[in-house]
Chain A
Amino acid sequence: MPHEVRMPQLGMVQDSGVIVAWLKRNGDSVKAGDPIFEVETDKATMEVEAATDGYLSGVKAVEGDDVPVGGLIAMIVEAEGDVEEAGTGVPDAEPEDVAVVEAAQWSDPEPVKQPISAPVERATPKSVASGRVLASPKARRLASERGIDLHLLRAQGVSEPIHVADLDAAFAAGGKSLLSAVVESTSFDEILDCSRTADRTKLLALFAAGAWRATFDASSVSVAIKDLDGRIEIVANPDRGGAGVPEDPVLTLVDLCGTRINGYVPMGGGVTLCVTRSAAGYGLSLAFEESRLALSGAAALVEDIAARIENPLLQLL
């Protein structure tokens, strides 16, 4: 999801801040923690850091602009392709009036969309109130962790307040999501051909664990390896030589490369990675529930696994 960059409140009585210098340009790749611009308040000049990784997009303020606290300055988008051109002039002038949101949040359930770039009138309690979906703290936290938009659930008719069970039910009704990719990999084939000891399934588990660790910054990654007889072996940290104690597996790997079967979507919960082999290359398919794993995270995972199969040397890095 795109992340909004807004003018932070750096002092207790600060109403606005002047952008002194941009340290990144529109379209630049940023990492969480990278300083992206300098802002001057009546007390000091400070660097504002990116809150997330991505690409700086749709920059709305130029150096010298005085931006009200809370005013939208730019977005950080996940993909380079989503980068929007920089705008000119003063950004989104009115910050959201937080106090008003709190006071009036129960009053109006109608969603109201406000285009970011249009001149914004002083936000009335009514229009601001409608933006907030009623949800339990845990549901809100899990939705955020899983990349679920609560507005979307409301639009689908889930009644408020939204609870954890609603998150699960909303996605369980739609069943599993499936992401697939095909990778050509002569180098992986060569490794398998020239080494008698190389075990394809174990190597795939190693790639999957490495990709999971890199994508989700996990410290311990257990992978379940399931065969068509239904046998399941759980390997702790296969990308680290199996060190540690096997825990609840983050995903189940089904290696179908030696068979004619070209797909398997298991019943039940969890994340399943199915690997097949055809003339076109290695087929990857990841079955998951979007209530448990955000689409963006799943896509990044599949990309990373594909990259490792394509170039196994990546695993060493």
Chain B
Amino acid sequence: MTRGITLSQAVNEAIAEEMRRDETVILIGEDVAEAGTPFKVLSGLVEEFGTDRVIDTPIAEPGFMGIAVGAAMTGLRPIVDLMFGDFLYLVMDQLCNQAAKTHYMSGGKLSVPLVLRTNLGATRRSAAQHSQSLHALVAHIPGLKVAMPSSAYEAKGLLKAAIRDDNPVVIFEDKLMYQDKAPVPEEEYLLPLGEAAILREGSEVTLIGTSSMRQVCERAAEILDGDGIGAEVIDPRTLVPLDEGTILGSVRKTSRAIVVDEGHQNFGITAEIAARISEKAFYHLDAPVIRMGAMDVPVPFSPALEDLTVPTPEGVAANARALVRGVPVHAP
């Protein structure tokens, strides 16, 4: 049985279920207890689990991140709430130098079973320091897993799998999707880290969309449907590990690919996925792999300008049309 719940409710359910199942799971961050985060994702948890397990911290990201890494090394399974993805810069040492490397540097004696929940996404009119999509920063670091749920269903299944994983996992939720509803099973389920989903089948072009760019790709596929162009839509779900097999299999079938992601385009996720396709499916490509990331500028505060910086369904459809019709997107 499924019912429609919001992404916010899905995250809340995942945390509550895992905290009930395993008493070593704790929640730590700014405004996670009484306030329930600015996005109201965590409402009700402190009432059920108390302030010993739902811990409000001062505004000191490096501090509570460090506490969580230590707690994870010594037997707890902390879920860290980082209010905005933009604050990742503050926790880089704890996350990338400590959490990511401890298992390796201790010769496997220590593990860091920690989940860092944070968010991404522009067009919320939050200006340049609260609108970034910084998942490429952490995907670059060996030792960290990175999940990018694109719906309430994925948010719940991936978060539960992340909490049970013995490695540090960073989950990026799109802050504009917290109120989006999707069918979610009532019974328990996990979504394994490292399995992409083919959301729509098509034979002429593969659209790979992460997080909310999945919806952009799906809407682009609908537009393309009207032009008689069959687009296949793939949601990688996790960047690390990346389900290369599903992506390459699709591109070998369609011969064309567009990678869409809300991180900056330069040196980003789109570049990584495009490069893997070019390396491993080169002789199946009938067109260059196209990257579509966020514009390489600080996210503008002006709504009109901000909207121009992220990929749109129309933009994806236009590029797909060009590829299928053999019109070079970039001059040869």
Contact = CB atoms under 8 A, between A and B. Distances in A.
B332 A163 contact: no
A137 interface: yes
B176 interface: no
B332 A138 contact: no
Interface stretch (B155-163, B283-291, B302-310, B312-320): B283-291
A136 interface: yes
A139 interface: yes
Given A160-B332, A161-B332, A164-B255, A137 B326 contact: no
A288 to B, nearest CB: 23
B63 interface: no
A137 B287 CA distance: 8
A138 B282 CA distance: 7
B138 to A, nearest CB: 32
A139 B286 contact: yes
A106 interface: yes
Contacts of B284: 137-138, 141
A134 interface: yes
A134 B283 CA distance: 14
Nearest to A144: B283
Interface string A127-147: 000000010111101000000
Instruction: Give the one of B284, B285, B286, B326 with max A CB within 10 A.
Output: B286
Which of the four size classes fits the interface of chain A?
10 to 19
A165 B285 contact: no
B285 A137 contact: yes
Contact of B286 (A106, A134, A136): A136
Nearest to B252: A138
Given A164-B255, A165-B326, A166-B326, A137 B332 contact: no
B328 interface: yes
Contacts of A141: 283-284
Task: Provide the main secondary structure of the chain B interface.
Answer: loop
A160 B331 CA distance: 11
Contacts of A138: 255, 283-286
Contacts of A139: 286
Contacts of B286: 136-139, 163-164
Contacts of B326: 161, 163, 165-166
A315 B23 CA distance: 74
B205 to A, nearest CB: 13
Q: How large is the interface on B (under 10, 10 to 19, 20 to 34, 35 or more residues)?
A: 10 to 19
A163 B283 contact: no
Contacts of B283: 137-138, 141
A163 B204 CA distance: 13
Nearest to A140: B283
B228 to A, nearest CB: 14
B285 A136 contact: yes
A101 to B, nearest CB: 15
A138 B284 CA distance: 5
Nearest to B255: A138
Interface string A104-131: 0010000000000000000000000000
Contact of A161 (B255, B282, B328): B328
A106 B332 CA distance: 7
Interface in B245-302: 255, 282-287
A138 B285 CA distance: 5
Contact of B287 (A134, A160, A163, A166): A163
B206 to A, nearest CB: 14
Contacts of B285: 136-138
A50 B64 CA distance: 67
Contacts of A106: 332
Interface string B84-96: 0000000000000
A55 B44 CA distance: 82
Nearest to A160: B332
Interface in A54-109: 106
Given A163-B287, A164-B255, A137 B328 contact: no
Contacts of A134: 332
A139 B287 CA distance: 9
A291 to B, nearest CB: 14
Nearest to A139: B286
A134 B288 CA distance: 12
B287 A136 contact: yes
Contacts of A164: 255, 286
A135 to B, nearest CB: 9
Contacts of B332: 106, 134, 160-161
Nearest to A136: B286
Given A137-B285, A138-B284, A141-B283, 6 more contacts: A136-B287, A160-B332, A161-B326, A161-B332, A163-B286, A163-B287
Interface of A: 106, 134, 136-139, 141, 160-161, 163-166
7 contacts: A136-B255, A136-B285, A136-B287, A137-B285, A139-B286, A141-B283, A163-B287
| Interface pairs A-B: 10 shortest CB-CB | A138-B286, A136-B286, A163-B326, A141-B283, A137-B285, A164-B286, A137-B282, A163-B286, A137-B283, A138-B255
